[in-house]
Structure 1
Amino acid sequence: MNTSLSWIKAYVPDLDVTPKEYCDAMTLSGTKVETCTLLDKNLEKIVVGQILSIDPHPDADKLVICQVDVGTEKLQIVTGADNMRVGDKVAVVLDGGKVAGGHDGGPMPEDGIRINAGKLRGVESYGMMCSIEEMGSSREFYPEAPVSGLYIFPQDTPVGADAVEVLGLHDAVIEYEITSNRVDCYSVLGIAREAAATFDKPFHPPVVAKTGNGEDIHDYLKVSVEDTKLCKRYCARMVKNIKLGPSPKWMQRRLASNGIRPINNLVDITNYIMEEYGQPMHAFDYDLIAGHEIIVKRAKDGDKFQTLDGQVRTLDSTMLMINDAEKEVGIAGIMGGENSKITDDVKTMVFECACFDGTNNRLTSRKLGLRTDASGKYEKGIDPNTAEEAVNRACQLVEEMGAGEVVGGMIDVYPVKAAGNRVKFEPDKINALLGTDISPETMKGYFRKLDLGFDEETQEVVVPSWRQDLHYMADLAEEVARFYGYANIPTTLPGSRTAGRIPFDKRVQDVCRETAEFCGFSESMTYSFESPKVFDKLLIPADSSLRKTVTINNPLGEDFSIMRTLPLNGMLTSLSTNYNRRNKEARLYEMSKIYLPKQLPLTELPDERVQVILGMYGENFDFFNMKGVVEEIFARLGMRELPEYVAEAGKPFLHPGRQAEVFYGGKKLGYLGELHPDVADNYDLGTKVYLAVLDVPTLCEFASFDYKYTGIANFPAVTRDLSMLVKKDITAGEVEKMIRQRGGRLLESLELFDIYEGAQVLTGYKSMAYSLTFRAKDHTLEEKEISTVMKKILNGLEGMDIKLRA
């Protein structure tokens, strides 16, 4: 949202501040200023001069010598301009003055250009005559300026006057960053009201006079609204005997300050009202309205409609249209049709000023790929009570500018009048929330400055309909805070006696995250919604429960149409991106959410679970590296028992011979393994990839942060080595489980230090060697105790058909 400071001062005439003071105060009161452009930057000592004579330069064909009256003296100025005549009044930069732009119309130098007296081809020149570009402006602001050459003032301009002031360049164009809830501030009047409250000055909105020629618009036009939900109000007024022409310079410059190019008086009036009131307007040629009837209703599916930009749009039944008795003539709140556009031959015109549903307007704009200034206003949700004053203001401007004859009366279809909110005034709660001690009367004073009413009987703040952001006590507290001054609110510590704590599941997630990063993994973040095609890429069977997904009603596209039921796709996509960008190795983890519906169609929220997924590839990584990371996570979570691994987990996306499910305390925690080669091809991964997935809610059942410490052992340990022949189908986990069970409390640790398969080992067997460490806490172990435990272990191994090697 842009405004010129002079436009704001038109409604707050007592506002006597510099642009910097204005911007600083408005930002601190909640209307954030993004940029401030000074129109008179680098303009010094520029006056209005009148050309007395023009003579050719003796030594240059393209230069002339002018004698110019600047009020206090007559100056000789040499120039290359050729669009002036004797008697013209032009902008003259005096000796030592400054202009903003260069002679060639190029980019403006940061510090402007200093003009000094000197000689041009041997002739003295005591100043410079300016174009509008050299004064830092453009034909957008001053359409009467020539395409090239000097700017010529009207003949009634006083000689010697400050040219910058005459042009209205002692001004600033201010850009605001308006939050979407402050719909009222998407208008100049809304900003001016904020400025009046900020500086505690009277606010003077336009006084809208009654207009009309004594006739009644109802004799000319009929309006009906079939969908009052999407069109809350529709106002129409009429103007006859149209006289098209340029709008006044003050209007052109105000529109240009908001980035709108002036066109003609009637178009400029509709744009001016949209900026002044934040209320879009549209104009129809009355003679092109079939049956002289306007009907507001929804389109039909498949209808074709050509908009003013010449494009044919395909409509559907969710879109609201403006129709006449025979055809569609405009897309409500977005753009009119080619079949009803205003031409230079217009004689009678209808002003439309309506309030359309913001959500529907936004969705229609998005479906059609058509966004306009009007749709940008409507989609934020404008106040329907503004429509009447806005259309009357437009008719007032028509009369003031002599642009036509306003027909009396107004058609106003307004089934349900919008009323403002009422918010209970609770000063004690406001002070408690802000940490202040502001009196109730002071708070009421702030409300009065903002044009908020107050009901003494019910002790309620009466919110006008144009303030759609005030609903609760906290909203009132924000109004109090910003006008009391955020800098005046004391800094205090929280008054609550309860100590904040991180939830247990978040602590578990933090440990998983920290451990993964400690092991060299980097965090990845991917979308929770994905494509149904993912299941085919992951080789998920057609009848798998994983394909029963939550479907999104309004997806961005098919690739984002379901909520994921397993976290693999995002991780594999990230690994693939790294691999195809020639990263030799990658280690990534993600705290991903999956969504498991309890039944379809949904009758309750799905089971939303957080899972840790780890993924890596690289020549130095294998299955056991990933297994080690998983066990490190368990150890950091205080899970002191060793997990169990069950081979052949049945995961179709993992290598059939290199996968395992992870169990702890009899419950499945997740799985790990090598990615199936076919899945790797589907993701364009030309290397071995290792994955692990752990379910955080199940981890929480076993995690413990109740740390217990034991003293350093006082008695020596004894080690024994075991070398054995083991059948290939017996896993190391099964062997270790048996050894731990048989070893009892004296077995302190065991380590697999050698595994071998080869010519010296029986077919179908593998050689495994373990180092066992024994220790007693209260005495030095004797050989008899060790032998007894070893015998139990050997008996257990023999029961598993495991043979000792000689």
Structure 2
Amino acid sequence: MFVSYKWLQDYVDLSGVDPEELAEKITRSGIEVEGVEIIGEGIKNVVVGHVLECEPHPDADKLNRCQVDVGEGEPVQIICGAPNVAAGQKVPVAKVGAVLPGNFKIKKAKLRGQASNGMICSLQELGVEGKLVPKEHAEGIYVFPQDTEVGSDAVAELNLDDAVLELGLTPNRADAMSMLGVAYEVGAILGRDIKKPETKVEESSEKASEYISVKVEAVEDNPLYVAKVIKNIKIGPSPMWMQNRLIASGIRPHNNVVDITNYILLEYGQPLHAFDYGKFGSKEILVRRAEQDEVIVTLDDEERKLNENHLVITNGTVPVALAGVMGGADSEVGQDTNTVLLESAYFAGGPIRTASKDHGLRSEASSRYEKGVDPNRVREAAERAVSLMAEYAGGEVLQGSVTVDNLKVEPAVVTISLEKINSVLGTDISAADVESIFNRLQFAVKVQGNEFQVTIPTRRGDITIEEDLLEEVARLYGYDNLPLTLPEGDATAGKLTPFQIKRRAARRNLEGSGLMQAITYSLTNDKKAGQFALHKREPIRLIMPMSEERSNLRLSIIPQMLEALSYNIARQNDSLAFYEIGSVFLKEENQELPSEHEHIAGAVTGLWNSHPWQGEKKPVDFFVVKGILEGLFEEMGVAEHISFRQAEREGMHPGRTAEILLDDMVIGFAGQVHPDVQKDMDLNETYVFEIEAAPVFNYNLPALQYSPIPRYPSITRDIALVVNQDVKAGELKSIIKEAGGKLLREVSIFDLYQGEHMEPGKKSLAYSLKYFDPARTLTDDEVVKAHNKVLDAVKDKTGAELRG
């Protein structure tokens, strides 16, 4: 919700409180102000000018030479290329020395040999977003009304010196989706009165009921419908002050009638819709559920197929509006409209939300109906709108309203005691202070001893129980004024759990290895929900997803990591290394809710090392990822219990993928993404890993023991073993370590040979073996004895032969 500071002053006195201070006070009272923006901040020396003469540039087809009065006596010559510039206009002029947004400074210039002393500006050049500029000014300069004073400050005339507060509203605070709602909030914060808009309507002798009748079939969806008729409307631009306020609120001005309905939506929080009565097609309004496959063409000229869950406004025969969401194109108010049929209604949020979601139409009206509008403002808003149409569109308001009213609304009455307030908040607030807070909120309150019976106005539909009143008292009393206390009793100082310590250590290790932390969505789509999952389960779908792309809880982190890589590669970031420690969600038998498991995942692509000066470039490969994981397992103290074995997994390269085992339990995998998946996502060669965090973090490690640095020399033996092609290097290493006994302390592979000097089906694997005893110097006989056991074991178990 965008709130104009100047507009807000119409309803509540803000003297002595600047926009930044007001934003701070609103935030501290419970509604976050996400920012304060002054659209025209930094603009200098821009005034209202009067174009006295306008003629084509003698040497350029698309330029005009203008003589402009800027309120300083002699007119100045300005060369302007706007297609809509003309003599007699009042326009914004940036004089020589002016500063425009982006620190753009205006200087004297010559354009095709003609002097130009300034610039005639468009709204976009003054900092207004293009999508908010009225269509008549979208392709050229802005033109002021003729009564605008020449030489006056154009920034002030356009209201660009206004401060706009952006409120980050939670769904329960629908009351603050209107200027009046914000005024009540600010009035309560500052302890000041509210001035409501004055509505004066002079009605004609003709009755609205002679022009229209209203019938509602879907009473539960639409318990209150009010129709007004305004004749002799003259369509034209709305007054400049109204256009400025709409632009500040993020709404593009159209014409006086449409702008008034949008203005009332912002002022009262009550959506309205104006139909062209001449195009309506009948004298009857019928509100009903749509028929299956019924069709309507909406204001955006899209044909939309409806179903029985959608609420429509019809002329008795065909739909003319998708209720609470968007009107139909056939009855749109246009330049030839002379009679307006105005709708103000109370719609239930459910059908509006359904239609909005089904058709992808998220409008200002639908967002308010979904969260709930004030039923007691439906009639007020209609009366305020027709009074403005009479004043600014020359309309003649017909007598009375045509209404269907099945709405029964009683304000909520909530009782709370002073003891409850003070015991929950830990305060010692007096009864008088509590009563004062409710009065500032303009809640009717009866005090009986230390009990408060509070009648909640219908504009605050979020307050229904005493805990809601507690929150109101706390935030108006001031969260900063609540006392701070420490827990009593035998409490101990807080600390990290062992799991949290391991998680932090894992993050430091992965970042030290060169990976950057990513935080991705826990929600994904139907297709990706089961991809790369360590544990196959049926995906868990949300009941009411915000979109189909975020409709399922994830079973693996890798699909989201690949999305992040793809996004970056599309933007020329091609050497990337990400990791994430996050949750996946598994459906369990006989459990309504899924179980949440923490996983560690990573994705790496591009160059791992690049040193152009030395001519060194190392692309990522499987062994880079394996090394990252081995470093992590070393940090976690489980490296000796980890093994890798070749595996095939869906979505992974069949020859470059390994499962990761902790003791004999599979806890994850690592490898290259399958080339088909890489191609589909426009990825380069990419390697990923994903492991379960709990088995690693919770592994029962023995108590830490320190060993002295060996005083005695070690003895190293290298062996090259010829084995069959299908023998795994890791398998051979395990056999060597087991056979070497306690004297064999280190085993490492350093060479693989497959070539013309090796017989077919064979390969050579070379290992370095280190023997030592920390208590004494080993003899050659002891080493030979242990070494022979190794050779015998590898020959017996794999058929390995020493390479000659």
Q: Same fold, TM exceeding 0.5?
A: yes
Could you list the per-position Cα deviations for residues 671-714 of structure 1 after superposition, in whole angstroms to 9, with x for gaps in the alignment? 33455566666666675x5544322233345264x751324157
SS in 1 for 2:286: strand
SS in 2 for 1:178: strand
**1:413 equivalent among 405, 415, 420:** 405
Counterpart CA distance in 2 for 1:149 and 1:678 is: 58
Could you list the per-position Cα deviations for residues 307-349 of structure 1 after superposition, in whole angstroms to 9, with x for gaps in the alignment? 4565544444433211122222222224433443457887765
8 Å CA contact 1:304–1:314 kept in 2: the answer is yes
Counterpart CA distance in 1 for 2:683 and 2:127 is: 58
My pick for the range that moved more, 661-670 or 570-579, is: 570-579
How far apart are 1:557 and its partner, in Å? 7.6
**1:386 equivalent among 366, 377, 380:** 377
How far apart are 1:585 and its partner, in Å? 5.8
8 Å CA contact 1:753–1:769 kept in 2: the answer is yes
8 Å CA contact 1:299–1:318 kept in 2: the answer is yes
What does residue range 508-657 of structure 1 map to in structure 2 within 5 Å? 508-527=502-521, 549-550=539-540, 565-571=555-561, 586-591=576-581, 593-598=583-588, 604-606=592-594, 608-616=596-604, 619=618, 622-639=621-638, 641-645=640-644, 647-651=645-649, 653-654=651-652, 656-657=654-655
- CA gap of 1:507–1:421, structure 2 versus 1, over 3 A, is farther
Counterpart CA distance in 1 for 2:41 and 2:668 is: 66
**Corresponding position of 1:667:** 665
Q: CA RMSD in A?
A: 6.0
**2:185 equivalent among 184, 187, 194:** 194
Counterpart CA distance in 2 for 1:583 and 1:63 is: 52
- CA gap of 1:799–1:225, structure 2 versus 1, over 3 A, is same
Letter of the 2:509 counterpart: T
**Corresponding position of 2:52:** none
1:693 correspondence with 2:674? no
SS in 2 for 1:693: strand
Counterpart CA distance in 2 for 1:407 and 1:567 is: 64
Letter of the 1:633 counterpart: L
**Corresponding position of 1:466:** 459
My pick for the range that moved more, 581-590 or 101-110, is: 101-110
8 Å CA contact 2:581–2:600 kept in 1: the answer is yes
**Corresponding position of 1:222:** 213
What does residue range 120-159 of structure 1 map to in structure 2 within 5 Å? none
1:281 correspondence with 2:254? no
Counterpart CA distance in 1 for 2:68 and 2:679 is: 78
- CA gap of 1:80–1:547, structure 2 versus 1, over 3 A, is same
- CA gap of 1:609–1:247, structure 2 versus 1, over 3 A, is closer
How far apart are 1:279 and its partner, in Å? 1.4
Letter of the 1:325 counterpart: G
Counterpart CA distance in 2 for 1:573 and 1:40 is: 40
SS in 1 for 2:345: strand
1:404 correspondence with 2:396? yes
**Corresponding position of 2:712:** 716
How far apart are 1:780 and its partner, in Å? 7.0
Counterpart CA distance in 1 for 2:638 and 2:38 is: 61
**Corresponding position of 1:116:** none
Counterpart CA distance in 2 for 1:298 and 1:452 is: 37
Counterpart CA distance in 2 for 1:556 and 1:483 is: 33
**Corresponding position of 2:162:** 173
How far apart are 1:24 and its partner, in Å? 6.7
How far apart are 1:203 and its partner, in Å? 2.3
What does residue range 155-304 of structure 1 map to in structure 2 within 5 Å? 173-181=162-170, 182-206=173-197, 221-238=212-229, 270-284=261-275, 292-304=283-295
Counterpart CA distance in 2 for 1:566 and 1:660 is: 17
TM-score normalised by structure 1 residue count: 0.70
SS in 2 for 1:276: helix
Letter of the 1:644 counterpart: S
What does residue range 731-770 of structure 1 map to in structure 2 within 5 Å? 731-744=728-741, 746-747=742-743, 749-752=745-748, 755=751, 757=753, 759=757, 764=762, 766=764, 768-770=766-768
8 Å CA contact 1:194–1:450 kept in 2: the answer is yes
8 Å CA contact 1:590–1:612 kept in 2: the answer is yes
Counterpart CA distance in 2 for 1:535 and 1:487 is: 44
Counterpart CA distance in 1 for 2:666 and 2:528 is: 25
8 Å CA contact 2:175–2:181 kept in 1: the answer is yes
8 Å CA contact 1:42–1:111 kept in 2: the answer is no
Could you list the per-position Cα deviations for residues 64-85 of structure 1 after superposition, in whole angstroms to 9, with x for gaps in the alignment? 99xx9xxxxxxx955689xxxx
Letter of the 1:34 counterpart: V
Counterpart CA distance in 1 for 2:104 and 2:572 is: 49
My pick for the range that moved more, 734-743 or 314-323, is: 734-743
Counterpart CA distance in 2 for 1:264 and 1:584 is: 50
SS in 1 for 2:640: coil
What does residue range 319-330 of structure 1 map to in structure 2 within 5 Å? 319-330=310-321
Counterpart CA distance in 1 for 2:362 and 2:652 is: 48
How far apart are 1:598 and its partner, in Å? 4.8
Counterpart CA distance in 2 for 1:455 and 1:658 is: 76
8 Å CA contact 2:422–2:428 kept in 1: the answer is no
Counterpart CA distance in 2 for 1:491 and 1:566 is: 42
Letter of the 1:353 counterpart: S
**Corresponding position of 1:352:** 343
**Corresponding position of 1:53:** none
Letter of the 1:627 counterpart: K
Counterpart CA distance in 1 for 2:547 and 2:144 is: 56
8 Å CA contact 1:421–1:464 kept in 2: the answer is no
Letter of the 2:634 counterpart: A
**1:774 equivalent among 766, 772, 775:** 772
Could you list the per-position Cα deviations for residues 86-120 of structure 1 after superposition, in whole angstroms to 9, with x for gaps in the alignment? xxxx9xxxxxxxx995499996999999xxxxxxx
1:364 correspondence with 2:355? yes
**Corresponding position of 1:443:** 434
Counterpart CA distance in 2 for 1:300 and 1:693 is: 50
My pick for the range that moved more, 202-211 or 224-233, is: 202-211
- CA gap of 1:423–1:612, structure 2 versus 1, over 3 A, is farther
SS in 2 for 1:709: coil
Counterpart CA distance in 1 for 2:211 and 2:249 is: 35
Equivalences, count: 738
Ranges in structure 2 where 5+ consecutive residues have no aligned partner: 49-65, 78-87, 107-119, 608-617
**1:333 equivalent among 324, 327, 330:** 324
Counterpart CA distance in 1 for 2:552 and 2:16 is: 58
1:702 correspondence with 2:699? yes
**Corresponding position of 1:96:** none
Counterpart CA distance in 1 for 2:674 and 2:262 is: 63
Counterpart CA distance in 1 for 2:739 and 2:270 is: 85
How far apart are 1:381 and its partner, in Å? 2.9
Counterpart CA distance in 2 for 1:750 and 1:308 is: 76
How far apart are 1:353 and its partner, in Å? 1.0
8 Å CA contact 2:541–2:553 kept in 1: the answer is yes
